[in-house]
Every structure is written in structure tokens, then in C-alpha cells.
């Protein structure tokens, strides 16, 4: 008796709630029958939980299968807000710090005065490679910054046509200079890595403020802790920027989709602006910030007193080696 | 002025790809570029729907927001267009676009993608209306002739609606009320921050 009473309810339940279980035969042309699916719900869910709405297309293009990717909004916020602020503060802030430093402390002079005698610090290969990387970096940096900030800073001044020409050739330069830059970074690593292994003296150097902020000159080998930092920022940062950059040059390479491209851009741009800030400090101390420093990468010959103050251990080592070597093996002066 | 929108009634779309073909033919869109495409979700499973998707001509368009050279502009009909003479082919609009609308003639060829191409809502570009130079760069300008986009005009089941947002939303609401179901207006929440409730 009870079974008979329940039967109509069972049929109703099956028809409404489980059309998939009993096939389409029983299904009524109700909302649920065609498989309940809501554009609004799907979009909201993907937006809140991440992910995207994907399907199948007849086009031989994997990118076309993504119907809606809410991550584009997050990337837009990164590009327009996060990157603009991080880049603006890092690059602009570093410029302000350097100006303040120059006005406050002024040019750091060689305390003992110039001796007039020089010692070879970098050979031709080291200098040529340094300047290849430096030239590439400056152009890559400026053209890169132009993509993020040019629209706000340069476009109102030069007008849309000229700005497009600058940005277009800038983009081409940016893409092609990536190759000599990467080559230079690899060479730099091979040339200088043996002198840039961190050691106990670096901690002491930092404790004393590196002779830059503090007084006096902590002992240092061929490279002091500050220079080692520049080296590792250049090589490790350069490697990260190169890898992410090549993914951007060769878009959608292999299995990479739009999410990977967005990630590559985020990594590339954030590391780049931080590297630009670091290199501004490097350029400052290597040029107007310190007497005698530019010669190291200019002529390759640095003043002996400068070398003794900043790289005492290296000078001792060089002089020991010089004394041991036959006279003819000395570099020409 | 109207606020032009697209609305794809996924319960009517039969994935015939006539909209895609009509678009390619009308604008002589080159190989490898698809201003419009049909995506089928849940293919072969319950809840399968096909949605014809192109540029949705968003309110507060993400492409325009991220463009490094500011080559986008919005017409009085709220159609999002861009100037190919200013585009540098950086690809940023594709990263920001929720709908994958921007297309590039030379994707994968390193160093340059070429000028971005996308659905113009059959409204051409910044060049003089219905000139050869406009047609070569952007395709036909049907809007200037008082016509609606050809994809929607061609749609055999009238799944794809184009026109003023209020008008096509009303048509869609009436349909949903009459037949008793509807999966909603795809992309509207994302593009226009509104939804069509029947």
C-alpha cells in the first residue's frame, strides 16, 4: 500500500533530479532536462575561484578554445597598478636616493690622493663584455620602461605617431638585443664567478657599511661584497629576465597558453624594474659617485691608491704574483 | 546613441559556424585570423552549449586599459575600435582580453606579431568610412551603411543577436520566458557587468 502511494513521487523525482541516470527517454522539456547550465553562474564562479571557461573549437589554434579567461583582469591590474607602482617606486625612488646621496656625501674621493701609478684591473675581454652587456641593458631597460610608462610620460609630449614609431623600433631593439645581452651574461658569469663566491669577509664589509655609508675601508678581494651583489643581481636576475623574455618573444611556445604568457610577463617586468633600480646605483658609484672607479672599466687601469683602499687583498695578491713572475710577463703600462 | 552589444543565445546556437564564415568573407580576413569563433563547452556531455564569441566591445575595455600606445578608442555607439597605424603588435591586449578576441597575423614569428586585428562590429576603423584603405585595414563598414554586423544577420537560428543592448536583451528575455529555459547571456557579466535575467 505504501509502495503504491510513493510510486508517483518516485517517478517525479527521477524525472526532475536524475535525467542522466535513466537516459533521455523520460526527460521532460524542462529547465533541468537540457543540463542546467548558467552563463552567469559559470562566469562568476570562474572569476571568484580562478580558472576559465574552456571548450572545443574547429580551429587549429589552442588559444581559441578558451571562451572566457577572468585572469585577464588580474593581469590588467598587475600591469596598470602593481607594476606601475613597484616600477615607479623602485626606479624613481632609487634616482631620488642617489641624488640625495650625492648632495649629502658628495663624490667619494681617494683618501690618500691619486698616486699616479696604476694597476691593471680588467682586461680587454672583460671590459668589452661589460660594455656589451651595459649597452644592451640600457637600451633594453629604456625600451622596456617605455612599454609601461611611455604612454603616460612620453606620449603626451611627442604625440601618437612619433610615440608609435619610438615604441615600434624600441620593441624590435628590445627583442633583438636580448640575444647579445644573454650571451654577455653567460660570458660574465664565466669570467667573474670565481671572484664572486661569497665569503666571511663580505659580512664584515656589510657591517662596516662598505666604505660607502660608513667610514674607513673594509678589506676586500678582487670584488667587495657590494660588487658581488651587483654580480649576482646581474647574472641571476639576467637569467630570469632572459628566460621569461624568450617566452614572451616566442609567444605560446609549445604547450604554453595565455596564463603562462601572463606569468612570464609578470616575472619579466618585476625583476626588470628591480634590476634597473640596482643598476642605477651601480652606474652612479662607477661614474660620478666615486673618484677613480670609472677607470676600472674605462682604460682598465686603476690608480694604485684607489685599488689599495677598495681592494686591499686583491692588490697584495697582484703584487705578490707580479714579484714572482718574470719581468717580461707584466702588462705594458 | 545606442549601446551596441552582442548576445549569443547558446540554447539556439547549432555550431554551424556560419557567423565565422560570414565574418571571414565579408572582411576578407586573412589566414590564421579569426575575428569570431564558436566554442563548444561540455562537448558530448549533458549541458553542451555552443557559444559564438568575438570581441564583446566591453564597457571599460581591458585591451584599451593595457595598450602601451593607447591605440584603442570607443565610438559613440560604444564599439571598441583600434588604430592599426598606431598598434605596435606587442600582444598585451590578448593577455588582458577575457574573450581571446585580439588576433595577430604573424603569431610565433619572433620579433613581431604584426598589427593586431579583431572584430570591429562591422564598423571599420579610424579611416574615412567605406574607403579602400579602410576596407584593406579593417574590413567592411556596415555600421556606416546603417546595417548591423553580418555574423548576426547571417545566423540561421538567430542565436547570435547584435544591436542595442537593451533591445537584444528584451528579445532574449521574451524567448526565455516563452520556452522556459535559457543559459543566460554569455560574457555579459564579464564584458558589461550586467546580466540578463528572464
pLDDT tens-digit readout, B54-71: 999 999 999 999 999 999
Distances (CA, A) of A141 to A93, A130, A246, A272, A275: 16, 16, 16, 7, 9
Q: At what angle do helices A238-249 and A258-286 cross, to 10 degrees?
A: 140
What pLDDT is stored for residue A26 in this prediction? 34
Min Cα–Cα distance to chain B from A277, Å: 21
Query: How many other CB atoms sit within 10 Å of the CB of residue B130?
Result: 13
Print pLDDT tens along chain A (333 aa): 344 444 444 444 434 444 333 333 333 334 444 567 888 888 888 888 888 999 999 998 889 999 999 999 999 999 999 999 999 999 999 999 999 999 998 898 888 889 989 999 999 999 999 999 999 999 999 999 999 999 999 999 999 999 999 999 999 999 999 999 999 999 999 999 999 999 988 888 888 877 666 667 788 889 999 999 999 999 999 999 999 999 999 888 888 999 999 999 999 999 999 999 999 999 999 999 999 999 999 999 999 999 998 999 999 999 998 888 665 555 555
On whether residue A242 sits in a domain, the answer given is: yes
What b/e string do you get for B7-17 counting C-beta neighbours within 10 Å, with b at 16 or more? bbbbbbbebbb
Distance from CA of A33 to the nearest CA of B (A): 9
Contacts of B95 (CB under 8 A, 6+ apart): A72, A75, A258, A261, A262, A265, B66
Instruction: Tell me if A39 and B183 make a contact (CB, 8 A cut-off).
Output: yes
Number of domains in chain B: 1
| Residue A35, pLDDT score | 60
Rg (CA), chain B: 16
Residue from A33, A55, A75, A87 whose CB has the most chain B CBs within 10 Å, to mutate: A55
In a domain, A75, yes or no: no
User: Beta-strand (E) ranges in chain B?
Assistant: 4-8, 36-41, 49-54, 72-74, 80-82, 160-164
In a domain, A72, yes or no: no
The whole-number pLDDT of residue A326 equals 61
Does residue B197 form part of some domain?
no
A291-A296-A299 Cα angle (round to 5): 110
Which residue range is the domain that position B48 belongs to? 4-192
Is A203 an 8 Å CB contact of chain B?
A: no
**Interface mutation target, options A16, A22, A24, A37, chain B, most CBs of B under 10 Å:** A37
Which CATH number fits the domain that encloses residue A219? Answer: 1.20.950.20
> Where residue B109 falls among pLDDT bands split at 50, 70, 90?
low
CATH number at residue B187: 3.30.70.20
pLDDT at B198 over 70: no
pLDDT single digits (tens) B136-168: 999 999 999 999 999 999 999 999 999 999 999
> Is residue A140 assigned to a domain?
yes
Amino acid at each position: 500500500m505504501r509502495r503504491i502511494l510513493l510510486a508517483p513521487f518516485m517517478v517525479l523525482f527521477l524525472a526532475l533530479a536524475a535525467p542522466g541516470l535513466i537516459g533521455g527517454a523520460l526527460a521532460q522539456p524542462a529547465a533541468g532536462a537540457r543540463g542546467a547550465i548558467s552563463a552567469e553562474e559559470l562566469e562568476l564562479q570562474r572569476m571568484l575561484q580562478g580558472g576559465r571557461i574552456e571548450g572545443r573549437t574547429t580551429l587549429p589554434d589552442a588559444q581559441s578554445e578558451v571562451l572566457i579567461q577572468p585572469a585577464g583582469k588580474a593581469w590588467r591590474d598587475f600591469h596598470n597598478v602593481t607594476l606601475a607602482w613597484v616600477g615607479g617606486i623602485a626606479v624613481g625612488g632609487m634616482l631620488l636616493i642617489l641624488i640625495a646621496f650625492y648632495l649629502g656625501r658628495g663624490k667619494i674621493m681617494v683618501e690618500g690622493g691619486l698616486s699616479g701609478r696604476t694597476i691593471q684591473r680588467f682586461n680587454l675581454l672583460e671590459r668589452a663584455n661589460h660594455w656589451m652587456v651595459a649597452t644592451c641593458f640600457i637600451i633594453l631597460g629604456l625600451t622596456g620602461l617605455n612599454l609601461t610608462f611611455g604612454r603616460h610620460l612620453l606620449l603626451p609630449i611627442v604625440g601618437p605617431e612619433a610615440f608609435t614609431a619610438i615604441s615600434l623600433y624600441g620593441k624590435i631593439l628590445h627583442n633583438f638585443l636580448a640575444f647579445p645581452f644573454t650571451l654577455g651574461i653567460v660570458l660574465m658569469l664565466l669570467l667573474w664567478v670565481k671572484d664572486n663566491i661569497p665569503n666571511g669577509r663580505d659580512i664584515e664589509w656589510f657591517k662596516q657599511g662598505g666604505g660607502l655609508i660608513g667610514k674607513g675601508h673594509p678589506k676586500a678581494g678582487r670584488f667587495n661584497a657590494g660588487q658581488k651583489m651587483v654580480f649576482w643581481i646581474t647574472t641571476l636576475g639576467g637569467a630570469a629576465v632572459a628566460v621569461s623574455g624568450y617566452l614572451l618573444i616566442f609567444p605560446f611556445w609549445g604547450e604554453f597558453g595565455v596564463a603562462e604568457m601572463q606569468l612570464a610577463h609578470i616575472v619579466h617586468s618585476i625583476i626588470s624594474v628591480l634590476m634597473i633600480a640596482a643598476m642605477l646605483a651601480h652606474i652612479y658609484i662607477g661614474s660620478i659617485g666615486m673618484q677613480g672607479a670609472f677607470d676600472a672599466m674605462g682604460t682598465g687601469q686603476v690608480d694604485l691608491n684607489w685599488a689599495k683602499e677598495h681592494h686591499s687583498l686583491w692588490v697584495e695578491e697582484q703584487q705578490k704574483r707580479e714579484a714572482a713572475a718574470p719581468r717580461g710577463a707584466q702588462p705594458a703600462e | 546613441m545606442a549601446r551596441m552589444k552582442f548576445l549569443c543565445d547558446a540554447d539556439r546556437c547549432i555550431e554551424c559556424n556560419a557567423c565565422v564564415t560570414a565574418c571571414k568573407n565579408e572582411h576578407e580576413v586573412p589566414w590564421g585570423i579569426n575575428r569570431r569563433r564558436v566554442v563548444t563547452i561540455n562537448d558530448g556531455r549533458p549541458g553542451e552549449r555552443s557559444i559564438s564569441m568575438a570581441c564583446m566591445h566591453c564597457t571599460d575595455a581591458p585591451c584599451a586599459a593595457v595598450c602601451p600606445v593607447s591605440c584603442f578608442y570607443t565610438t559613440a555607439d560604444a564599439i571598441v575600435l583600434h588604430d592599426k597605424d598606431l598598434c605596435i603588435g606587442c600582444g598585451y591586449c590578448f593577455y588582458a582580453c577575457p574573450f581571446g578576441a585580439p588576433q595577430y597575423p604573424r603569431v610565433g614569428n619572433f620579433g613581431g606579431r604584426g598589427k593586431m586585428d579583431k572584430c570591429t562590429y562591422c564598423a571599420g576603423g579610424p579611416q574615412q568610412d567605406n574607403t579602400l584603405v579602410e576596407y584593406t585595414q579593417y574590413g567592411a563598414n556596415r555600421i556606416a551603411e546603417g546595417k548591423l554586423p553580418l555574423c548576426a544577420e547571417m545566423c540561421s537560428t538567430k542565436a547570435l543577436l547584435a544591436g542595442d543592448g537593451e533591445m537584444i536583451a528584451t528579445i532574449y528575455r521574451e524567448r526565455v520566458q516563452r520556452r522556459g529555459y535559457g543559459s543566460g547571456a554569455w560574457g555579459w557579466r564579464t564584458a558589461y557587468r550586467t546580466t540578463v535575467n528572464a
